[in-house]
Amino acid sequence: MSKPLTTGKIAAACRSLPGWTFRRNALVKNFQFGSFREALSFMLQVGFEAEELNHHPEWTNVYNRVSVRLNTHDAGGRVTAQDVELAKRMQKISWVG
């Protein structure tokens, strides 16, 4: 079972992750791309990172927007270091902030 992060560690992580917030026990961000093709490309690239981490996001896509919510089911639906790592990888991939 993964260990949930403290509120302080989550707040520190959010300060280093532009646009990410902590809401309802999850790291949350909305990405807006220039087109559906760009949004889909982002999701495909993140998919490979998520698979490498064996940690998969809860996300939705509507046209050029991708909404992401990260928490860990086996940590009781709370945020863990794995969520922070996936958010960092998403930030590295994203070209829209």
CA angle 84, 57, 96 (to 5 degrees): 75
* CATH placement of domain 7-93: 3.30.1360.20
d(CA 94, CA 23): 21
pTM higher than the cut 0.75 = yes
DSSP secondary structure code for residue 72 in this structure: B
The domain limits of the chain are 7-93
Instruction: Read off the pLDDT of residues 31-69 as tens digits, 9 standing for 90 and up.
Output: 999 999 999 999 999 999 999 999 999 999 999 999 999
d(CA 46, CA 4): 23
Is a pLDDT exceeding 90 seen at residue 15? yes
- Side chain identity, residue 64: N
d(CA 97, CA 81): 21
In the predicted model, what is the mean pLDDT of the chain? 97
